[in-house]
Amino acid sequence: MGTTPDCREPSHPLSTLSMPESMTLTECRGWLPGGKRAAVCFSVDDVHPATSRDEFDAGGDLGRGALGHVERLLDRHPRLRVTLFVTPDWRLKRLVPTRKWLTRIPLLRERIHWAPLTPRGHFRIDRFPEFVAYLNALPRTDCALHGLHHAHPGPRMAVEFQEQSRSECSALLQEARRIFATAGLRHVQGFAPPAWSAPPSLCEALNEADFHFVTSARDLDTPVSQRARTARSGLHGASLIHPMWIRCAANDESTGATAVPCRLVHFTTNFQATSTIERALTIIECGGLLAIKAHIFKTGGGITMLDGLDNAYCDYLERLWRELETRYGDALWWTTLAEVAGRCRATAN
């Protein structure tokens, strides 16, 4: 760990896969505070009130269970800030298909859920006041939206936003916000679309509803450089290491009203449990945002998450953060996605 990573451009061509024509990205300028060379953010997906008595503990066991890992990291790293992406009314019971014979019927396969769902409202967070109070009490922690149900008919069963119109996306966002408000969950105006899928209709709805940021790309493989662009999960062509303004114009609806100014910031997840410390150091050397992702559970619903937050992942993160603190000290900005988006919006005025 004694060498300094090289942030120069790689000799091979960068991957710049095209985005939808209705979507444009532009650089956010001035997002780093003075005296800071790079930033570190940590976020956790799929938080909801399911307990170990259900298919998997996604936060319902509070500090006794999965959220205890978040507590551990916060306790041991006073500079750490966390964003928890919470699903207001989680409905997926299994995360792998179980109705396989029905999925072979052409007229049904796109219209049915490929695995059973929990009843609507079963895990709605306003029914779990202890869960909400626990999240509200966590220090240095933001909560933000992670879909509404995290479910969709058809083969991409966890990809909640697919073919919906802008108005349909708006209705889902309004319902999600209503549940948060009824529950009394303090939250920031951010959104992580389930399975990274943010079609133009969703992005436009997010911007119109004055969400501040969206995380709709994950790329753990593209080599790090200043100009590197995403080419893996979710949105292609976004900056790998810098926040960007995202403007989306849905093609399904037209309006004579004046367009809403673009105020939506896009972030890319570029690090998780399977990433090397060398990758993290290179992102820092490039002056980027090290955006670390975890999922709240390791095993459940028929799958094992590579970035599930267990003891081994916590150990790895602690080793990484000690290395960063030793190398860079106060030159690093330990922050949240909402805080970075806030600086982008402030410097754009």
Structure tokens at 223: 């080599």
Helical ranges in 77-217 per DSSP H: 106-109, 129-137, 166-183, 200-208
Angle CA 65–273–156, to nearest 5: 85
pTM score: 0.91
Taking only the tens place, the pLDDT of each residue in 309-318 is 999 999 999 9
CA 38 to chain centre: 20
Please tell me whether residue 83 adopts helix, strand or coil conformation.
strand
pLDDT value at residue 311: 98
For the stretch 5-33, what's the b/e string if a residue is b when 16 or more beta carbons lie within 10 angstroms of its beta carbon?
Answer: eebeeeeeeebeeebbebbebeebeebbe
Q: Output the pLDDT for position 20.
A: 62
- Length of the chain as a residue count: 349
pLDDT digits (tens, 9 = 90+) for 98-132: 777 666 667 766 666 768 889 999 999 999 999 99
Closest-CA residue to 287 (of 229, 247, 246, 328):
328
The answer, yes or no, to whether residue 18 has pLDDT greater than 90, is no
pLDDT recorded at residue 106: 73
Lookup: tokens for 152: 């969709």
The better pLDDT of the pair 195, 9 is held by 195
With beta carbons less than 8 A apart as the criterion, state whether 159 and 150 touch. no
Residue 145, amino acid: L
Helices (H), 184-246: 200-208
Give 192's pLDDT tier (boundaries 50, 70, 90): very high
How far is 270 from 259, CA to CA, in rounded Å? 32
Please check whether residue 229 is in contact with residue 15, taking contact to mean a CB–CB distance below 8 angstroms: yes
Scan for tokens 């602690």, then name that residue: 318
| Spatial contact of 49 and 58, defined as CB atoms under 8 Å apart | yes
Phi-psi region of 307 (alpha: psi -120 to 50; beta: other; left: phi over 0): alpha
What is the per-residue pLDDT across 231-270, written as a single tens digit (0 to 9) for each? 999 999 999 999 999 987 655 454 444 456 678 999 999 9
**Whole-number pLDDT of residue 97:** 74
User: At residue 332, does pLDDT exceed 60?
Assistant: yes
Distance in angstroms (rounded) separating the CA atoms of residues 125 and 156: 24
Give CA–CA dist 15/326, Å, rounded. Answer: 33
CA distance 80 to 36: 16
245-249, 273-277, 314-318, 345-349 — which is least confidently predicted? 245-249
Measured CA to CA, the distance from residue 213 to residue 221 in angstroms comes to: 23
- Output the six-digit token pair for 12: 């091979």
Residue in 192, 220, 237, 224 with CA at minimum distance from that of residue 341: 192
* pLDDT greater at residue 92 or residue 41: 41
**What's the pLDDT band for 96 if we cut at 50, 70, 90?**
confident
Give me the CATH topology for the region 23-29+36-348. Answer: TIM Barrel (3.20.20)
Nearest Cα neighbor of 122 from 191, 51, 196 is: 51
Is residue 17 scored above 60 in pLDDT?
A: no
Task: Categorize the per-residue pLDDT at 14 as very low, low, confident or very high, splitting at 50, 70 and 90.
Answer: very low
In the chain, domain spans: 23-29+36-348
pLDDT at 153 (0 to 100): 73
